[in-house]
Amino acid sequence: MSNNCKALHVANHDKGIYNAVATEAQTVSDSLHHPDFGDIRLYDGQEKNYEIKYKVSIV
């Protein structure tokens, strides 16, 4: 291994346990063609705020 290559060596890191969850909230698909789904467009100068809550439980 050359000196210019920095490799990740797991043995050199602490033994902690790490977990992550990534979520991406989305509107109802094809909502532009279904007015009853609501208007999802954001017009110039308009601001919209949404709040999404998740409940995590251990089963």
Residue 52's closest CA among 29, 21, 25? Answer: 25
Amino acid at 34: H
State both tokens at 42: 């954001």
Instruction: Summarize pLDDT for 2-43 with one digit per residue, the tens.
Output: 555 555 565 555 666 777 777 777 777 788 888 888 888 889
pTM (two decimals): 0.34
Query: Where exactly are the structural domains of the chain?
Result: 12-59
pLDDT of residue 29: 76
The pLDDT value recorded for residue 53 is 84
Residue in the block written with tokens 């602490």? 14
Q: What are the pLDDT digits (tens) for 9-18?
A: 655 556 667 7
Distances (CA, A) of 43 to 11, 26, 33, 46: 51, 18, 17, 5
